[in-house]
Chain A
Amino acid sequence: MTAKRVLSVLSGAIVLAATLTGCGSDSGSTSGGETLNVLIGANTIYPEQQRKWFADISARFQRESGATVEFETFASPNDELTKIQTSVLSGQGPDIYAIGTTFTPTVYATGAFLELTPDDWTKLGGRDRFLPATLGISGPDRDHEVGVPFTTRPFVMAYNRELLTAAGIDKPAESWDGLREQAKRLSTGGRYGMAIGYADSFDPWKFIWAMSLQAGNPLVGDGKARLDEPVVRTAYQTYLGWLATDKVVDPAAVGWKNAQAIAAFGAGRAAFLPMVSATSKVTLDASAVAGKYGYAVMPTIPPGATARPGGGQDATSILSGDNLVVAKYTRQRDLALALVKLLTSPEQQRDYYQTFGELPTDASAAAALQADPALAAMVDSSARSVATPFSGAWSQVQLALVNVVVQSVPGLSAGRVDDARLGTLLTEAQSSAQAALDKAK
């Protein structure tokens, strides 16, 4: 009896082992060649096209080099971060990562990614073939670059042409104060001047950074945080004031992420939609405002000014997009560089733009797109994008900046921006940003 029991338990275990090990989990063993693993953000707007693109690239690279490419996707920036941390910590994982531009300094700080030598750049087809602006956040200086520009996604502002015409406004203002006045005129009849995602985890800091930079304060410089200066405070007051005092934003926007702001604009309930990229085009073309909206660069004259002060920068957007980085632990360095070259080749970049709407980083591919009027604002903004400070502590600075908005939101329903509270929050943000910078190496 016991033997029979043992036997049945054993057979159960064998069945279990078979099912767990079964189909799929050993797909790497099919081809004899090398395998490259690439980690890239999941494209939620074009999931099917992305899968097709994966297959196309794999097939093409297989033809060219005999190696297999396997793509893995991450869901969110947090996911990406976790994946990078676990891979770096254990010294195994994807060979190539497509990472966000603002995240490049943090990735560089780990020292786990390949610094590109002049020789490497040659293998990639030359550093010169990339748009100079897109190289702005590849490394701390020319000799220590890790990121190869892959796509660029400059931020612009969508506006509802119909609503603007009805209000007698011929084009969006070039100063933040002007934009506010226009938004006030447009806030009538259940519509609002602007759609803003106050609860977004990333949008808020981009506004504050842009306004501060335009006023001459890049927030971080020479290892010192400058978050408690008057221009930063003015930036917050302007950004929060749109909702609290100017009433040009739907009060419900305190709970919005970027997606809901796009939805509100798409439903025709807001005239301006600042801080969107070309990827919003798909959604808007399928919405109620299709054919009635346009894109423009965001204002570059800081709040409280009619002209940009001396020292202020003409920044339309953060330098946004994706860089490709190669892990130091890779066993196929040259193969990885060959794939990066393929991914950034003019032909692939054009193809990528046509499929996903993300702009090329290759100069010749970008020049070919210049003529498209629908893209004028993006191309303009791309050239006038400014890189965020190259510091390993930038993620923490970013978090501190957003935190000020998050903690200010409950007070906004009172109809004013509480100055004392804002002061306290800025002091906290300054000290946590400075603490992070002090640890930077």
Chain B
Amino acid sequence: MPGAVPPYRRVQRHRPLWMLAPGAVLTILVVVVPLVVALHISLLDLDQYSFRQWVRAPFVGLANYTEAVRASGTVHAIVLSTSYAAIVTVVTLPIGVAAALATQDRFRGRGLVRSIFLVPYVLPAFVVGTVWRIILQPDGVANGLLARLGLDGGLWLNGPRSFWALVVVQIWASWPLLYLLALAGLQAVDPVLHEAAALDGAGWWTKLRYVIFPHLRGPVSLAVIIAFLHNINNFTLPFVLFGVPSPRDVEVLPVLTYVESFQNFRFGLSAAMAVLSLVLIAVPLAAYLRAVRLDVGPDGAAEGSRP
């Protein structure tokens, strides 16, 4: 009987590992192999003069990496990307969870509201960028609205405020990611728990805090890390909003690597920058995984001792 089996024991025999095969084959072919090629490129002096026969481009060892570190842009871009991604993630978290909670309760038109909430996420990033660029023009709709309130809008798409323009637009475009995952997480809450909470006479906040939130921990921890990574790798939005060359306050890493490879033809340097950022992201990523125990799951401790 189910109750007799200790919870969370993983089966160790007759493992259907073949179910992992499709994903593994695809990943090796379409991700790992190209990634190795990219790593190799980061060690080459690959530019417009040598890329026709890229295999024969001069091998320069770590020269691209030293240039990437020394170039003023890289460090600035990493700091910028990280802080922008962190701010957006932290702000979208409560918005997404609140939206999921609000649309979990049944009401007339719920399906429509759920779908509308998806709209910012459904629009392609360059459409979002184009629309907001028109809105945020110096003589655009946003400043017109501010002027009506007696405020001077000023410049949003260049200068120090461009950073906040990027943050605001990215929040607008990306909060549905957290919303969707939180909503999926809510479906795993056993209705019995609601009844138990009601019997205990718990208020709504107490119920959320002690009954619902613990269930959201997994999906939301996942949503946070995914949102952060998506934000940090978002190329299209800053590219369309600000164009290239990018104002220094929004010269985020993906734009910098894009310009280096696709405009300046410095493929090697660009690959080195991207690899460097990958390594730098890996550190906080590992720390985060450890902190929220996302990788090992809620039963992590027990499982770690049982390989």
> Which of B54, B155, B259 meets A399, CB within 8 Å?
B259
A contact residues around B262 at 8 Å (CB): 78, 81-82, 85
Which B-chain residue is minimally distant from A251 (CB atoms)? B138
Asked if A110 CB lies within 8 Å of chain B CBs, one says yes
A78, B263: Cβ atoms under 8 Å? Answer: yes
Q: Is A62 an interface residue (CB 8 A)?
A: no
A110 touches B247 (CB 8 A): no
Q: Given that A255-B157, A392-B48 are contacting pairs, would A407 and B247 also be in contact in the complex, using a CB cutoff of 8 Å?
A: yes
Bound form: Cα–Cα A396–B136 in Å: 29
Of residues 146 to 172 in B, which have CB atoms within 8 Å of A's CB atoms? 154-155, 157-160
A436 within 8 Å of B by Cβ? yes
Bound-state Cα–Cα, A145 to B76, Å: 41
| Residues of A contacting B51 in the complex (Cβ-Cβ under 8 angstroms) | 85, 88-89, 110
Q: Name the one of B47, B54, B159, B263 contacting A409, with C-beta atoms under 8 angstroms.
A: B159
Q: Is A410 an interface residue (CB 8 A)?
A: yes
- Name the distance in Å between B66's Cβ and chain A's nearest Cβ: 15
B264 proximity list for chain A (CB < 8 A) = 395-396, 399, 436
- Measured in the bound complex, the distance between the Cα atoms of B237 and A350 in whole Å is 41
In chain B, residues 203-258, which have Cβ atoms closer than 8 Å to a Cβ of chain A? Answer: 243-248
With A106-B265, A110-B48 as known contacts, state yes or no: A413 contacts B155, CB within 8 Å. Answer: yes
The size bracket of the interface on B is 20 to 34
Query: In the assembled complex, which residues on chain B have CB atoms less than 8 Å from the CB atom of A256?
Result: 137
At the interface, yes or no: A254 with Cβ under 8 Å from chain B?
yes
Cβ-closest chain A residue relative to B162 = A410
Count A-B contacts at CB 8 Å. 88
Q: Does B295 contact A (CB under 8 A)?
A: no
A342 interfacial by beta-carbon distance below 8 Å: no
B137→A406 contact, CB < 8 A: no
Q: When chains A and B are docked, how far (Å) is the Cα of A199 from the Cα of B259? A: 17
B167 to A: closest C-beta gap in Å: 17
Option from A81, A111, A254, A410 in Cβ contact (under 8 Å) with B160: A410
Residue B299 CB within 8 A of the other chain: no
Per-position contact with B for A78-120: 1 when CB-CB < 8 Å, else 0? Answer: 1001100100110000000000000000100111100000000
Q: Which residues of B contact A199 (CB under 8 A)?
A: 157-158, 243
Determine if A4 is an interface residue (Cβ-Cβ < 8 Å): no
In the complex, per-residue mask of B245-284: 1 if CB is within 8 Å of any chain A CB, else 0? 1111000000000010011110000000000000000000
Say yes or no for B9: interface residue by CB 8 A criterion: no
Q: How far in angstroms is the closest Cβ of chain A from B49?
A: 5
- A359 → B minimal CB distance (Å): 28
A5 within 8 A of B: no
Quick one: which of B119-144 are within 8 Å of A by CB? 136-140
User: CB < 8 Å: which of B52, B155, B259 contacts A255?
Assistant: B155
- Residue of A201, A406, A436, A440 with most chain B CB atoms under a 10 A cut-off: A406
Contact A403:B245 (CB < 8 A) given known A111-B52, A254-B138: yes
How far, in whole Å, are A202 and B138 apart by their CA atoms in the complex?
A: 20
Would you give the shortest CB distance from A435 to chain B, in whole angstroms? 10
**Contact B138–A410 (Cβ < 8 Å):** no
* Nearest B residue to A393, CB-CB: B48
Tell me the nearest residue of chain A to B137, going by C-beta. A255
A173 within 8 A of B: no
Q: Is A250 an interface residue (CB 8 A)?
A: yes
The answer to whether A110 touches B244 (Cβ under 8 A) is no
Q: In the complex, how many angstroms separate the beta carbon of B239 from the nearest chain A beta carbon?
A: 9
**CA distance in complex: A413, B265 (Å):** 34
Residue on A with the closest CB to B259?
Answer: A399
Given contacts A89-B51, A395-B263, A399-B263, contact A255 B138 (CB under 8 A): yes
Task: Please tell me if A439 contacts chain B, counting CB pairs below 8 Å.
Answer: yes
A252-265 interface code vs B (CB 8 A; 1 in, 0 out): 11111100100000
Q: Which residue of A lies closest to B264 (CB)?
A: A396
How far is B243's CA from A80's CA once the two chains are assembled, in angstroms? 16
- Which residues of chain A come closer than 8 Å to B155, judged between CB atoms? 254-255, 409-410, 413
Residues in B whose Cβ lies below 8 Å from that of A440: 49
In the assembled complex, A232 has its CB within 8 A of some CB on chain B: no
Q: B48 and A252: CB pair below 8 A?
A: no
Query: Inside 8 A of B154's CB, which chain A residues have their CB?
Result: 413
- The answer to whether A81 and B263 touch (CB under 8 A), given A252-B138, A254-B155, A406-B246, is yes
- Asked whether A63 is an interface residue with its Cβ less than 8 Å from the other chain, the reply is no
Q: Point out the residues of chain B lying under 8 angstroms from A213, CB to CB.
A: none
B263 CB contacts on chain A under 8 angstroms: 78, 81, 395-396, 399
- Give 21 pairs: A residue, B residue, CB < 8 Å, sorted on A: A78-B244, A78-B262, A81-B263, A199-B243, A253-B138, A254-B158, A255-B139, A255-B140, A255-B155, A255-B158, A396-B263, A399-B263, A399-B264, A406-B245, A409-B155, A410-B155, A410-B158, A413-B154, A413-B155, A436-B264, A439-B47
The 8 A-B residue pairs with the shortest CB-CB distance, nearest first, are: A410-B159, A252-B139, A403-B245, A252-B138, A255-B138, A255-B137, A441-B49, A112-B52
B residues sitting closer than 8 Å to A (CB atoms) are 47-49, 51-52, 54, 136-140, 154-155, 157-160, 243-248, 259, 262-265
Q: A78-B244, A89-B54 are in contact. List 8 more A-B contacts (CB 8 A).
A: A110-B48, A110-B52, A255-B137, A260-B137, A396-B263, A407-B245, A409-B247, A410-B159
